[in-house]
Amino acid sequence: MTISDKRLRRHLLTAVLIKLIVLTVLWWVFVRDSRVSVDSNTIGERFGVPTSAQGASK
């Protein structure tokens, strides 16, 4: 392996590590505390699927 190959590998590894750190920080700041509530009636209306009470026979 030549010296330029080693330098290229080091630069690529550094770039990937920096990107992973940036993505982790962005997730930690903006996404970590986000919560999404799921309501079966709302989802059924959105997809056009009729929803029934839980345990009811069809």
H helix intervals, 1-58:
3-30, 40-47
The CA-based angle 40-41-42, given to 5 degrees, is 95
DSSP three-state, residue 30 = helix
pLDDT value for 14: 98
pLDDT value for 3: 92
pLDDT in tens, 1-58: 899 999 999 999 999 999 999 999 999 999 988 888 888 888 888 888 776 656 555 5
